[in-house]
Structure 1
């Protein structure tokens, strides 16, 4: 495909798409459509992340190696070159980062090379409130490497996309559907060190189906589980010291928390099984996510935490060493940022009920 849209038009189109918002998956696909009109690429992986841990939570991918998804995710987390956790706030190419020697990348050397990938343009979408997503754009033979001009054009949209993704996450905090029963645990998925599924508890299928709905009735792909398990491997390998956990939106105001750990205790093992647990996100996790997604300040987040704990204005003022008038000002600021007008409505969104 020949790109036809210039820099200014690309930025205007991206800003328009992000302003209209939409669900995380739909928004990402629209963003990709606009990017492709300006800069050609052959495959992509666009992954929402937990804004606190930076671990992948919800991927949208169109890659030739999709049947090898566990391997792709494992290598992505174990590769230090152009890892999203260390990227600057602009698009960077694999060839530029390796001085024209892509074999220095573990991911390229062990997987991408065999699929004819000649270059990868990577970006992270991060602001002061958290890390919201990362994106890899692939070019395959006989395509050409990404040019400096193309990378600069793509980089123009990073702030707008970051803001759009954050606001899309904020929009997920809605009251859950009345009458829907909470999913029951314990929910555990067992993976091999290569991220092959070994076993799962009975309720796990229902949780995974909520995370990755399947219209054809087939078993859902546990992409979120692969990501937290891969982060555990990266931590053990010394690549990244982040926590092997992620909060994942499951639709209808529901959020789950996924965590990975080795069976038998900490530390790497040649045959150590990885257990991934899935549970409803805690109240504290929901408050933290809601606050970040709605760009609340530290003081506003503290106030929201006290409100969620059931405290009134007098008690909150004493706890925060502020006047009740100042507490009301902070609360009005929260209402303005979230578009919610009452305390009851605010807490209903935070708690998802």
Structure 2
């Protein structure tokens, strides 16, 4: 059973989830709240794109970054008993390594080749972090003291996973981007990089260095974990073990939104193994649904916001959605409260952040393609 009062842990996690913390701040604080109730030796909390369930960021405690390439390899490329994508389908969104292997961790390549020899872990508890029907991440807890995670602890993790999901979802939109209008307007096209079979960066086009730095990469160092995972998923696709080419939406350190996607390449001699990764500015149709969901808006509230962003007035929204004007106003009041704004103009800027708001302010309307008139 959990070693700290479950009710107190839930109360503190509930408060953290509504405290306005960014994703990293919430993750670190939530793990410290959880530790007394569910003791662990190390932890990794990963945020995911709810549309693809691919990792978009990680926060670790008592773990280093130096083995991220090996971790991503085992998570996405290696065909194993289970990985994070499988855990999303497990009953209750939880599982443990000992339970999956019947107590024989040698059956799990991730443990046999990575976790056990490098870290000495003896069990792993994974639980997903859902909110309103979507997955916003997962948590992996590890123990190296010879104790496995009990069924009661697994059930407790599944219970508090929903609170983690609310906090991780809110953290995605905590704080507007700080980029200047000049930075926001800059349109340099997609950044393209090619990674070889050995994981080394073979080629980087214009803007790659800046894009990688904005995603948390270090000059000359390993690629950011979300891109390592994306590359691993592309190799999984090439091997016929993934149905679709991988892509994910990422929020950069500067607060902008980008879309990254990866594809396997074949050389002139027919050999495969290299991966091309493209990173480009996200367009409103790709980001608005994610942002409005992250604010915790209901489906009907999202419909209202979508029409507000197109410039519709109350009467037009009412006609389009077959609602009364009073009901539209009620929805808007609820939206304003959830988003933390007081007007439609503030709502538009908050949903689009600083990435798109300057274009709207100068009257660059959204075209049928989903991009702004007068932009490349």
Taking a change above 3 Å as real, the CA distance of residues 180 and 227 of structure 1, as seen in their structure-2 partners, is: farther
TM-score by length of 1: 0.85
- Confirm or deny that 1:14 pairs with 2:9: no
User: In the aligned structure 1, how far is the partner of 2:209 from the partner of 2:22?
Assistant: 23
User: In the aligned structure 1, how far is the partner of 2:30 from the partner of 2:304?
Assistant: 35
Taking a change above 3 Å as real, the CA distance of residues 196 and 171 of structure 1, as seen in their structure-2 partners, is: same
Q: 2:264 aligns with which of 262, 265, 272?
A: 262
- Do the aligned residues in 2 keep the contact of 1:35 with 1:154 (CA within 8 Å)? no
Q: CA RMSD in A?
A: 2.8
Q: Quote the offset at 1:175 in angstroms.
A: 5.3
3-state SS, counterpart of residue 92 of structure 2: coil
Taking a change above 3 Å as real, the CA distance of residues 77 and 340 of structure 1, as seen in their structure-2 partners, is: same
Which residue number corresponds to residue 228 of structure 1? 230
Which residue number corresponds to residue 146 of structure 1? 149
- Confirm or deny that 1:169 pairs with 2:172: yes
Instruction: After superposition, give the CA deviation of every residue in 1:46-78 in whole Å (9 maximum; x if it has no partner).
Output: 111112221100112346674231221121124
Which residue number corresponds to residue 201 of structure 2? 197
Which residue number corresponds to residue 94 of structure 1? 97
Pairing of 1:24-103 with structure 2 (within 5 A)? 24-62=23-61, 66-78=65-77, 79-83=80-84, 84-103=87-106
Q: Quote the offset at 1:325 in angstroms.
A: 4.0
User: In the aligned structure 1, how far is the partner of 2:65 from the partner of 2:108?
Assistant: 19
Q: Quote the offset at 1:157 in angstroms.
A: 1.8
Which structure 1 residue ranges, 5 or more long, are not aligned?
none
3-state SS, counterpart of residue 91 of structure 2: coil
- Do the aligned residues in 1 keep the contact of 2:18 with 2:170 (CA within 8 Å)? no
Which structure 2 residue ranges, 5 or more long, are not aligned?
355-376
- Do the aligned residues in 2 keep the contact of 1:212 with 1:220 (CA within 8 Å)? no
- Do the aligned residues in 2 keep the contact of 1:51 with 1:129 (CA within 8 Å)? no
- Do the aligned residues in 2 keep the contact of 1:90 with 1:124 (CA within 8 Å)? yes
- Do the aligned residues in 2 keep the contact of 1:70 with 1:196 (CA within 8 Å)? no
Which residue number corresponds to residue 358 of structure 2? none
- Do the aligned residues in 2 keep the contact of 1:92 with 1:151 (CA within 8 Å)? yes
- Confirm or deny that 1:210 pairs with 2:210: no
- Do the aligned residues in 1 keep the contact of 2:22 with 2:173 (CA within 8 Å)? no
Q: 1:109 aligns with which of 86, 107, 112?
A: 112
Pairing of 1:117-128 with structure 2 (within 5 A)? 117-128=121-132
TM-score by length of 2: 0.81
